[in-house]
């Protein structure tokens, strides 16, 4: 049986961290009894869960697409008082959590949902779901650089990082745009690779997650993921997982 905090997250009420805080604060009852341990086992659909006297039921699943602007952080709150992605959603949107992250200086496609299990499938390393980025760099991208990105680098922290593919989009006199595809995603993956190669990142925009493209969604705009788009994403995660499943 899942723990109480995980159950509240699965029901789409709040994040596991927020749930744990509510539980430890004595605000959650299970079958009329206050439970202060976030790991308290719960039978979903059988046990009655209440928060501050109000019954908790499974929330309607929400799937959002956001075109994240530069300068916005991907967190629920920020200790430095910076604007977060939640400032773009509006007060009437129920609780959702980002599916993965984009750092403060990065832009583009960000998914948000209250479906924690779906989010875990989309971000799982096992699915190897491609993420596509357009990156403006402060140099001309030649064949040597593109090959170095595909071959991989070792950062000063000792991490081995690589990209699935890298290609030149266009170039000017002093800078160029490169399309980079990742099938894994470590913290600040692209930025750390380019920093290791002593290359400045001017802009970094995520333009696709698997088959889902950012398209013409305006900067800072948010919309619902369509049923067709979700189905296509679900199919992609399943196909990728099957493709790498070990043979029995």
pTM of the model: 0.81
Give CA–CA dist 22/9, Å, rounded: 12
Question: Are 136 and 176 spatial neighbours (Cβ–Cβ below 8 Å)?
Answer: yes
Question: Are 65 and 26 spatial neighbours (Cβ–Cβ below 8 Å)?
Answer: no
Mean pLDDT of the chain: 89
Domains, the chain, ordered by start: 4-55 (3.10.290.10), 63-126+212-225+233-244 (3.30.70.580), 130-209 (3.30.2350.10)
Q: Which pLDDT tens digit goes with each residue over 52-92?
A: 988 887 778 999 999 999 999 987 766 777 888 988 987 77
User: What's residue 78's pLDDT?
Assistant: 64
Question: Are 30 and 4 spatial neighbours (Cβ–Cβ below 8 Å)?
Answer: yes
224 alpha-carbon distance from chain centroid: 16
pLDDT at 244 over 70: no
Query: Which three-class secondary structure state does DSSP give residue 224?
Result: strand
User: What's residue 14's pLDDT?
Assistant: 81
Query: pLDDT class for 246, splitting at 50, 70, 90?
Result: very low
User: What's residue 242's pLDDT?
Assistant: 55
Query: Which three-class secondary structure state does DSSP give residue 177?
Result: strand
User: What's residue 248's pLDDT?
Assistant: 39
User: What's residue 12's pLDDT?
Assistant: 78
Q: In what order do the strands lie in the sheet with 54-55?
A: 33-34, 28-30, 49-51, 54-55
How many separate helices (H) and strands (E) can be counted in the chain? 6, 15
Q: Which residues are catalytic?
A: 103
If phi > 0 it is left, if psi is from -120 to 50 it is alpha, else beta; for residue 220 that is left
Question: Are 180 and 166 spatial neighbours (Cβ–Cβ below 8 Å)?
Answer: yes
Give the N- to C-terminal CA distance of the chain in Å, as an integer.
28
Q: Of 110, 105, 106, 134, give the one whose Cα is nearest residue 122.
A: 110
Q: Which pLDDT tens digit goes with each residue over 182-215?
A: 998 788 999 999 999 999 999 999 999 999 999 9
If phi > 0 it is left, if psi is from -120 to 50 it is alpha, else beta; for residue 48 that is beta
């Amino acid at each position: 049986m899942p723990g109480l905090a995980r159950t509240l997250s699965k029901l789409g009420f709040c994040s596991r961290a927020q749930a744990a805080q509510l539980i430890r604060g004595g605000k959650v009852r299970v079958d009329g009894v206050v439970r202060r341990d976030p790991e308290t086992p719960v039978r979903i659909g059988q046990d009655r869960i209440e928060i501050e006297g109000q019954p908790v039921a499974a929330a309607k699943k929400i799937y959002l697409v956001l075109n994240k602007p530069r300068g916005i952080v991907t967190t629920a709150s920020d200790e430095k008082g910076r604007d977060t992605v939640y400032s773009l959603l509006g007060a009437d949107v129920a609780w959702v959590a980002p599916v993965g992250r984009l750092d403060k200086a990065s832009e583009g496609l960000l998914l948000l949902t209250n479906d924690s299990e779906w989010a875990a499938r989309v971000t799982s390393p096992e699915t190897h779901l491609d993420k596509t980025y357009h990156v403006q760099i402060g140099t001309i991208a030649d064949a040597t650089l593109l090959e170095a990105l595909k071959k991989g680098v070792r950062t000063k922290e000792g991490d081995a990082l690589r990209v699935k593919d890298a290609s030149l989009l266009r170039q000017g006199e002093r800078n160029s745009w490169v399309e980079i595809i990742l099938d894994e995603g470590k913290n600040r993956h692209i930025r750390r690779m380019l920093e290791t190669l002593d290359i400045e990142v001017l802009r970094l925009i995520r333009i696709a997650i698997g088959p889902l493209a950012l398209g013409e969604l305006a900067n800072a705009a948010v919309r619902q993921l369509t049923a067709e788009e979700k189905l296509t994403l679900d199919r992609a995660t399943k196909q990728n997982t099957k493709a790498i499943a070990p043979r029995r």
